[in-house]
Chain A
Amino acid sequence: MTTDPTTAGTDFVKPQVHTQPFWDSVQAGEFVLEHCGQCGRYSHPPVGACRNCAGPVEFVPVDVHGVIYSASKMHYQAVPEAVRKAPYWVAIVDLNVQGGVRIVVPVVETADELIVPGVKVRIEIRELPGGGRRIPVAVVEASG
């Protein structure tokens, strides 16, 4: 079952039935979150029903701004290089959506010294280094 991390492809990311719409939207260039039509709660990761009220959920576009809660530069090549080539940055981001939602994303196109807790970021969509799949990433806002 062990796969050589340098050659494995981007099938490393395996969507499920209830997460596929998220990936489909991202592939189309739009960042979305699971949202409850009944109580209005946003949720991530998606679970296919509202965590709060069990109401029906749909994926909706959201504010793409947020703040880094924590971030680390990854030196060890733990994932296939087609997913991300070490060293690379990953951040946990508190998104500016009602109720608060966290998402874990790579931070790209940003100088190391700017990637610290508390800085403002913008979610963008980028293709994985190995091609094919597109994923959400964070870029630190120029103004900080």
Chain B
Amino acid sequence: MPMSGMSSVACVGIGRVPFTRDRLNARSPLSMAAAATRAAAADAGLSIDKIDGIACYGMNDTAAAGLVAQAIGLNHLDWHLDVYAGGFGSFTSLAAAQMALNAGVCTYAVVYRSLAGYTGSRYASASAMQVMRTHPDQEFDAAAGYAIPPQWFAMWAKRHQFEVGTTEEDLGAVAINTRVHASRNEHAVMRHNFDIDEYLASRMISEPLKVLDCSLEVDGAVALILTTPERAADGPHRPVYLHGGEYTFNNGGSWNSWPDFTRMYPALIAEKFWNRFGIRPGDIDVACMYDCFTITVLATMEGFGFFDRGEGGDFFREGRATYGGDVVVNPHGGLLSEGYIHGFNHQFEAVQQLRGEAGDRQVHDSSTALVTSGAGPFGGAVLYTTEVSP
């Protein structure tokens, strides 16, 4: 069942640049976005001039859609959009492109995320976060020394520990599983495996979150090309279909006023999501869970019903989140280990998996992928499948 008023679209092209932490060879968000969008067009077998829509998201740390269009020689556009957003922008920018395609406003839309997250605006830098300036909370948070994402998510993890009994070892199980997956992915920036002792001994950032609980800041860009299903048949790759999903934004963008820090946005959309498509967690082959921090994976998977409350650590330790288990979670290594492209690399991974082109990390016979974006009070989930109808 499609979203009311929304039909499925096809992803026909994916592109990216290497993810790096290299000050000597730093690239700008504009140049990376141009390279990734060109790569996506080439992957789709499309000449650049076929693209008539472009969208992106970011927090004053990206290259604007219009500038990127010009940088790839697209002098005429029918549709463009810059979404000011955190990780949930992965959902909103794709959903906007889906709507634009459905409405016939454009025919081929490229959606990208580009950021110099290591050499440019670092999310671990309070001064960079000040430039990004997101919310009235920030002025008061800054005064309290509460200024960067690991500090915010530490509060969620602490409350989850207090109320649900989650342990540091539970968080570590997510980090370890993710890194094992990354070790098979040559595009991942961090591929060194670690055990629970190394995890527990890693540098504390904000209790209980250690450096291995945190996103890996990198420079990079990822782009997807979407079109209507009837246009998708002629491309060089098997099309993968994006069916949309559910999204919720709450408390005016305030992290602090969300009432229950043990539950994130899936509390409001999980049932709607599963009912929309008539599926359950057991039907998902690949789950690209937004993993800005390990606690986000535990809390959101709990919210989507992959396991019962407080069972996340066991779920990961018992091999249920990897090959041969219930669902393969972040086969690319996620934001924790492949690199922090603000969740857009999760969309890339879902498409590559469903094409059957994921190489050493291919999830056998995968046909259904869940991709989540955002965390805390703000987030969305989309469904990809190999069939034009979900």
Interface core residue of B127, B143, B148 (most chain A CB under 10 Å):
B143
B11 contacts A by Cβ under 8 Å: no
Contact A106 B145 (CB under 8 A): yes
Given known A5-B126, A78-B151, A83-B145, contact A70–B159 (CB-CB < 8 A) = yes
Within 8 Å by CB of B142, from A12, A46, A70, lies: A12
**Number of B residues, CB within 8 Å of A:** 39
* B199-207, B222-230, B350-358 - the one binding chain A: B199-207
- Nearest chain A CB to B54 CB, angstrom units: 27
Interface core residue of B125, B156, B158 (most chain A CB under 10 Å):
B158
A45 contacts B by Cβ under 8 Å: yes
Contact A1 B127 (CB under 8 A): yes
- Cα of A83 to Cα of B162 in the assembled complex, Å: 28
Chain B minimum-CB-distance residue to A4: B127
Within 8 Å by CB of B145, from A74, A92, A102, lies: A74
- Nearest chain B CB to A5 CB, angstrom units: 7
| Inter-chain contacts of A5 with B (CB < 8 A) | 126-127
- Cα of A51 to Cα of B351 in the assembled complex, Å: 42
Interface core residue of A13, A78, A105 (most chain B CB under 10 Å):
A78
B256 contacts A by Cβ under 8 Å: yes
Chain B minimum-CB-distance residue to A47: B136
- Nearest chain A CB to B166 CB, angstrom units: 13
Within 8 Å by CB of A1, from B128, B139, B151, B163, lies: B128
Contact A72 B261 (CB under 8 A): no
| Inter-chain contacts of A2 with B (CB < 8 A) | 125, 127-128
B124 contacts A by Cβ under 8 Å: yes
- 20 CB-based A-B contacts, threshold 8 Å: A2-B125, A12-B126, A13-B142, A16-B139, A45-B140, A45-B254, A72-B206, A73-B207, A74-B206, A76-B124, A78-B147, A78-B148, A83-B142, A90-B145, A92-B155, A102-B256, A103-B140, A104-B140, A117-B158, A117-B159
* B residues lining the A interface (CB < 8 Å): 124-128, 130-131, 136-137, 139-148, 150-151, 154-156, 158-159, 162-163, 203-209, 254, 256-257, 261
Given A14-B142, A72-B154, 15 other A-B residues pairs in contact with their CB atoms under 8 A: A8-B127, A13-B139, A45-B136, A70-B158, A72-B158, A74-B145, A74-B206, A74-B207, A76-B148, A79-B147, A102-B256, A104-B137, A104-B144, A116-B162, A117-B162
